[in-house]
Amino acid sequence: MKIILNHSRILVLLAWCLLSFSCNNGIELVDGGKSDYRIVLGKGASEHQYKTAEELQFYLYDIGGERINIVEGEPQVEGKYSIFLTGESGKDLGEHEIYIKTLNKNLYISGGSDKALRNAVYEFLERFLGCRWYAPGVEKVPSVKTVQLPNIDYRYTPDITTRTVHSRLFYDNHDFADKQKVTYESFPDYVPQARVHTFHRFMPEDKFYKTNPEFYALRGDKRLPTQLCLTNPEVLAIVKDSVASLFARYPGKNVLSVSQDDNQQHCQCENCSAIDTEEGSASGTMIRFVNEIANYFPEKTISTLAYQYTRRPCKTKPLENVLITLCSIECDRSAPIAEKCTEFADDLRGWGKLTDNIRIWDYTTQFTNFLAPFPNLNTLRPNIHLFRDNNAQCVFEQHSNHPSELFELRSYVTAQLLWNPDRELEELITDFTDGYYGEAGVYIKKYIDKIHS
């Protein structure tokens, strides 16, 4: 469903003015259904850049009624102006950075990579032309005779560079995920067989336990196949070879998890216990072990968990190519983490002092009943602020994935906050309820306010 806004040019310009831009010295991309502009790509533009240019062309046509031509590497033509699209990093543009600027009647939309360029185009359409994408097939696109821009000089780098919302709205609809600047899957760029809880995959019980019980965790006076003995050099060698084999099988993947299985029965042998005591946490043996693995694969990223018994930070600093995945599974969802889950917040701050390579695995839904009211929307923004402020470059918000209470709204608002955590929550919710629910939006907003009061 497309919501076409047939407002006058005056209303559109008024919205821009409210953003404190000058309306007198801008540029007109389309005037009366005609345009003097071209979309210009650099020579040798990639397939991704062409697709991005076509998206911009499509929406400018939807808005102003003129299909602006796409050209590659052509010099400036007299009487014509250009919308320059560039997608590469350099000394003035970081990999994830976007830059939108008007200069000498031309428009420059840039990103530090192909993905960042795509983000820049959608940011331009949303921020400066009023487009909205609320759900797959539900969008709001202005329709005006004159597409006029103010003077623009906008630069932005997202602090959270890998943004994942666990929602099939994004996983099943990649175009919609692109518009909301989130990933297509829950573990982007990971080796498929090694995403989380991987110890048993590297050293299966049925292969090693009977002949080599010393490879596994000592609990009391018995070795159990619950976790690995991380101070056993043979265990290190076997896991290293398994990791090498998986990377060889999936050469296009750059991340692999070396992480504890999903239980708390870790090794308490003399060697492991001594390290954990020295480090002040059971994460000590884990990080030392994972660092050894990561040292063999300097061009890859080795992910591990700070989860349950390994959540408390140790003293050893993770290598630069070690990704710490910190899980908030124990936290109360009725209030911001910093207020009601102070131990987790303290652990996060501790890890943030050790590394700037942190992935948060957060939980935003009610797993016991996905359809029941769950008034936690007001925790999203402060929690994401907490993550951002403590070096979390990657955030995975585990939503319900399948349709649930306020499913579309939650997916949209969470994605928007991951891209820009400083957006106002009330503004985002009202924008969505008005745009998605139409005349019913005011009642949905009252319901949301009521359950959160």
- 289 and 207, same domain (yes or no): yes
213 Cβ neighbours under 8 A, 6+ residues apart: 223
Give the pLDDT confidence score for residue 368 in this predicted structure.
87
- 231 and 108, same domain (yes or no): no
- The number of helices, as runs of H, and strands, as runs of E, in the chain is 16, 19
- 446 and 373, same domain (yes or no): yes
Distance CA 331, CA 164 (A): 19
281 touches 313 (CB < 8 A): yes
- 200 and 235, same domain (yes or no): yes
| CA nearest to 409, candidates 444, 440, 453, 450 | 444
Residues found in the chain: 453
309 part of a folded domain: no
**Three-class DSSP category at 66:** coil
Enumerate residue ranges in the chain where pLDDT < 70.
1-24, 75-76, 78-79, 90-91
Distance CA 129, CA 69 (A): 19
Q: What's the total number of domains in the chain?
A: 3
**18-72 per-position pLDDT tens digit:** 343 444 478 999 999 999 999 999 999 999 999 999 999 999 999 999 999 999 9
**356-376 per-position pLDDT tens digit:** 999 999 999 888 888 889 999
Give the pLDDT confidence score for residue 8 in this predicted structure.
37
Give the pLDDT confidence score for residue 92 in this predicted structure.
83
- 430 and 344, same domain (yes or no): yes
- 223 and 240, same domain (yes or no): yes
Structural domain of 296: 189-304
What's 29's domain CATH number? 3.30.379.10
277 touches 214 (CB < 8 A): no
217 part of a folded domain: yes
244 part of a folded domain: yes
Checking 12-21 for CB contacts under 8 A at 24+ apart, the result is 12/130, 12/142, 12/144, 12/148, 13/148, 15/130, 16/128, 16/148, 16/149, 16/150, 19/150, 21/150, 21/151, 21/152
- 13 and 99, same domain (yes or no): yes
- 7 and 153, same domain (yes or no): yes
Terminal Cα distance for the chain, rounded: 32
- 255 and 280, same domain (yes or no): yes
- 148 and 118, same domain (yes or no): yes
- 98 and 164, same domain (yes or no): no
